[in-house]
Structures are given as structure tokens and as C-alpha cells.
Amino acid sequence: MSSVIEKNPRIIVALDFSAEAPALDLVSGLDPKLCRLKVGKEMFTRLGPAFVEKLAAKGFDIFLDLKFHDIPNTVAAACAAAADLGVWMVNLHASGGRKMMETARERLEGFSQRPLLIGVTILTSLGQEDIAEVGYSGSPAENVVRLATLADSSGLDGIVCSPLEAGEVRPKVNKAFLLVTPGVRPASVSKDDQKRVMTPLDALNNGADMLVIGRPITAAENPLQSLRDIQAEIATFGP
């Protein structure tokens, strides 16, 4: 992989299905030139690496969203397994600490096509009381910024964060550090269970680099058209 990260296509479609058939049915109507795909814990636990290989064989870049969190050697070995699988992006919890992140990053150095390594900061499902209960002081936003800068200085390629947090994180991290944001909704569609959302274009303007979008595409009557509409919306943002 070259040192310049190719951000396009910026849309990562979240494949949140409980079975293979509907997921493959959706993917058969999508275009790898227009989107990448995210495979999370449920689909990976049900279908395993073979499913990821099937998607990659169709030409899609795969974000393996397994959010590793363990001792440094174990996380590094899991990241190496993801690299062997040929995924484009993999993630871990930044709260696993500097040593864990640095060890994982070093282990990926040996791969000619290494996956991008992305950190999870504070899960957006956690509020002020939740993080206090597990021993974090300060607000969720303060902790997001602190963990983002730790991830940046530990050699990670970026973090996952909400588009609303992107604006606070962007000035505190390197220019090339990627902000990957879920919680994105075109103005015309339902927010589903997402509470704090931004439109795709607003998210990019707020500092996001890549957009994780699920149901606005996966549950659309015409997923490819929905993907094209979002691409058209963000085209004004530039490359």
C-alpha cells in the first residue's frame, strides 16, 4: 500500500444482516467503484472468514469491524490474521493502550498490502454516567479527543467517531489521520435508531474522511440508486 491513503470511494456500506443470502443479494447490486463494505461481529461470527473472502473476490475493499481489545500480542496476532485475509481496514479499541496499538501497528508493517488500522474511542452508546461508572473522568467528548490523539501518536491510521465529534477531533490530529464516521443520514431518509446524525456532505465538511452508512442504502428500495444519490451529494466536496 502506498503511503498516500486512497479515500475514494468514501462510502462504506455497513452489512448488518443475520444471514448470508440477503447480504450477498444486496452486494450483487452494488458497485465496488462506488462503495466499500463493512463486516461486523454478527456476520463474521456467523459466517467467518469465507464470507469476507467472497466479498473481496467481488472486488470490494472490506472493513473488518471486530473492535479488538486484548493484550498487545493477542491483538497484534488478530490484526495479522485480518491482514492475511486481505481486508482493507481493521479496528481495535484505543482504550487498550499505547503498547497494544503500537504492537499491532508494528506487526502490520511487514505486509505489502497492510490493512488500515483504526481505533475506536468512546462508544457512542456510552453517556456521561456510563463512562464515569467505568472510571473515566471528563465528558465523553473530552475522552474521545484524548483517545484520538493517543491513537494518532501510537501510529494508527485513524479512528471511528461520530460526525459531530469529527469537528473537535480534526484540529487535534495529523492531517492524514482518518476520521471514519457512522451516524450519517441523507436529509431525506429516516434516522432509524440513530439519535445524533449529520448528512453525508455536512459530515465531510465537519472533518470526516469516510462515511459508514447502513440502512439508508441496505434498506432502500433501490440500494444502488440510494448509493448513487449519496455519491452525487458528496461529489461537490471534491476528491
Catalytic residue list contains 67: yes
CB of 94 to ligand C5P, least distance (A): 13
DSSP class per residue in the chain: --SS----S-EEEEE--SSHHHHHHHHHTS-TTT-EEEEEHHHHHHHHHHHHHHHHHTT--EEEEEEE-S-HHHHHHHHHHHHHHT-SEEEEEGGG-HHHHHHHHHHHTT-TTPPEEEEE-S-TT--HHHHHHTT--S-HHHHHHHHHHHHHHTT-SEEE--HHHHHHHGGGS-TT-EEEE--B--TTS--TT-SS-B-HHHHHHTT-SEEEE-HHHHTSSSHHHHHHHHHHHHGGG--
Contact between 183 and ligand C5P per CB under 6 A:
yes
* CB closest to ligand C5P, residue no: 214
Contact between 140 and ligand C5P per CB under 6 A:
no
Please pick, from the candidates 180, 212, 227, 234, the single residue that binds ligand C5P as defined by CB under 6 A: 212
Q: Which of 67, 99, 172, 195 is catalytic?
A: 67
Please pick, from the candidates 46, 192, 225, 228, the single residue that binds ligand C5P as defined by CB under 6 A: 192
Contact between 39 and ligand C5P per CB under 6 A:
no
Sign of dihedral through CA atoms 195, 199, 202, 203? positive
- Whose grid coordinates read 461537490? 236
Prior bond of 9 cis (ω within 30°):
yes
In terms of CB distance, is 79 or 213 closer to ligand C5P? 213
In terms of CB distance, is 72 or 216 closer to ligand C5P? 216
Q: Which three three-digit cell numbers place residue 79?
A: 490484526
Contact between 44 and ligand C5P per CB under 6 A:
no
Contact between 70 and ligand C5P per CB under 6 A:
no
CB of 133 to ligand C5P, least distance (A): 19
The gap between the terminal CA atoms of the chain, to the nearest Å, is 19
Contact between 168 and ligand C5P per CB under 6 A:
no
Contact between 16 and ligand C5P per CB under 6 A:
yes
Contact between 53 and ligand C5P per CB under 6 A:
no
Please pick, from the candidates 74, 194, 205, 224, the single residue that binds ligand C5P as defined by CB under 6 A: 194
Please pick, from the candidates 91, 103, 121, 124, the single residue that binds ligand C5P as defined by CB under 6 A: 124
Contact between 84 and ligand C5P per CB under 6 A:
no
Q: Which residues bind ligand C5P (CB under 6 A)?
A: 14, 16, 40, 123-124, 160, 182-183, 192, 194, 212-215
Active-site amino acid positions: 67
